[in-house]
A and B are shown apart, each in its own frame.
Chain A
Amino acid sequence: MGFGDFLTLPEIKLRVVTCRNVFQNTAQETSRFGEDYERLSAVIMLDPKDITRLSIKDGETVALRNGHGKVVVKAQRSGQEDAHSGIAYMLNSPWSNALVPVPDTGKGVPKYKDFEVTVQGSKGEKVTGIKQLF
């Protein structure tokens, strides 16, 4: 895909909630720098309607951006979920933490379970590696 094509892909804003997954947790126990940990962590789970709105296919990469950072992860159609268009799920990991905001309320708690990102398809772009995150 050329640069021009990339520009034409639609951008949408989604609310992200982070959650846990036992397979990813297991991969983390084995190695934070391993392929399994990256494969299972660098993912955003989307409602089928949002996949359509983004003009992407299940499994393609998407770029996520907000005022705190940018990461490229794989888009995945969320399986068993009820319809949740407008809301996406990410596993708690350094990839989601690149985007989690810290409100300036002085309360000492980041907004892990409710933050906004702009999502755009980025087919062909590589998933951000863990070492590039930092």
Chain B
Amino acid sequence: MVFSVFRFGDYLSEYFVCTGCALLCDDIEVDVQENRINTVNAACRKGVARMKGCTDPLVCTVDGKEEGIDKAVQKAASILRDAKNPLIFGHGNSSSEAQKLSIDLAKMTGAYIDDTSSFCQGPLVEAILQEKLKTCTLDDVRHRADVIIFWGADPSNSHPRHLSRYSYYPRGKERQRGWEEDRTLISIDIRRSDTALLCKDERFYRIPISGDAEFMEALVSSLSGKVPKTSFDYEKKRILELSNVLRKAKFGVICAGLGLVYSLEQLDPLFKLMDKLNELSDFHLIPMVGQYNMRGFNHNLFEETGYINRLKFDPQNDEPLHGPEYSIVETLYNKKVDAALIIGSDPLSSLPYSIAQNLKDIPLITIDPCQTLTASRSTVTIPCALGGVEADGTAVRMDGAEVTLKKIIKTDRLTDHEILKMIMEAI
């Protein structure tokens, strides 16, 4: 059976969404045979691997022994009930429906709640939701952007279809001549990444490690008609040339990667640059969010509490506690949590071992479609359906657009939100 979407006249069938990254490409065609995905068309190699599923699916276990879902749910409920300071973490690879239940579960149990944005794109998403940074959609980029800057970002590796679907190669409504004539691609990075290679020497700006803030300040000077200076003696002529390109942009976008986020101590230099660019031109910023629904978690928590991450709920108090001290990194560093539920994430893989190892000493519950390092250390593991392949749901793309996920194949596994619901009922 081939599911596909062809818009010929009135004929309309469906495309599917890839959840391999926060681009959430919604033009995926699949060939399903005997309830297995046989071929995936249009996705990148990472997306194909995501949609075909992992080779080591998670098994439902309690204390390392295979068990039924009811027993696993009961054990998970008792762990969370008995904990004084539980942590609920993950959510990057969870549906918005599950994320909302996670927030309710955190309220119910007085838990810390956090997600991966806490140690990656969080500050940018927060600034966008607080309207401190001007943003746009990826569709705006496709149709209108003429100057595209990848700053500390390498989409050729992190979001392989960014350039072909949205930012560089496509012909857009106002960019009919595509990349050859209508778009200028710029890379600002500490290394010549695969994306930087496309920019050639002319539009690749190699800066030193942690040099981003100074480079931003130099650009602001140059855009203000002053001589740009940096402590690392960046060639002034090149900064002046770059600021000329930016000044003349009709619709500019900064696609901000982790290189930029980790380099800035605080966001002020970026705010100043964006303000200056918008005095002279029309500039937007989109965070290069990695996991498919990290931004969804930020939106859902923001709607509920006014914060995007790093919270602790107090059952006796309506107002949640918020701040870096409630982040997963600090709570693990200071050994503040006594149990954790991990959903749609693998902190033992993604966090520095020096703090992740503190998870090994407490009861852990993992909900995930696949075997992960965290799952291998968990007291309870509960497999869930893979979002967008085995489960419906909604998610928020890196630019804030909501995307509907449609299930492709049937599974006996419950969805992430069904599992959370069962745990909440058991508590």
Chain A residues in the interface with B (C-beta under 8 A): 15, 17, 19-23, 25-27, 29-34, 68-69, 80-82, 84, 87, 89, 92-94, 97-102, 104, 106-114, 130-131, 133-134
Contact = CB atoms under 8 A, between A and B. Distances in A.
A111 B158 CA distance: 19
A82 B348 CA distance: 33
From DSSP, what is the main secondary structure of chain A's interface residues? loop
A87 to B, nearest CB: 7
Interface residues of B, number: 56
B199 interface: no
Contacts of A21: 157
Contacts of B353: 68-69, 94, 97-98, 100, 133-134
B319 interface: no
Given A68-B353, A134-B360, A15 B46 contact: no
A68 B333 CA distance: 13
From DSSP, what is the main secondary structure of chain B's interface residues? helix
Interface stretch (B28-36, B48-56, B128-136, B272-280): B48-56
A23 B157 CA distance: 8
A46 to B, nearest CB: 13
B258 A25 contact: no
B330 interface: yes
For the complex of A and B, 4 pairs with smallest distance between CB atoms: A108-B327, A29-B49, A100-B352, A108-B324
Nearest to B193: A19
B325 interface: yes
B355 A102 contact: yes
B329 A134 contact: no
B352 A20 contact: no
20 contacts: A15-B209, A17-B191, A30-B54, A31-B54, A31-B56, A32-B373, A68-B353, A69-B353, A82-B191, A84-B191, A92-B350, A97-B349, A97-B350, A108-B310, A108-B327, A109-B119, A113-B262, A134-B348, A134-B357, A134-B360
Interface in B329-364: 329-330, 333, 346, 348-357, 360
B371 A102 contact: no
Contacts of A80: 192, 194, 197
B262 A32 contact: no
Contact of B46 (A29, A94, A104, A110): A29
Contacts of B55: 30-31, 34
Contacts of A109: 119, 262, 329
Contact of B49 (A26, A87, A89, A106): A26
B372 interface: yes
A110 B347 CA distance: 13
B206 interface: yes
Nearest to B325: A106
Contact of A106 (B157, B324, B356): B324
B157 A94 contact: no
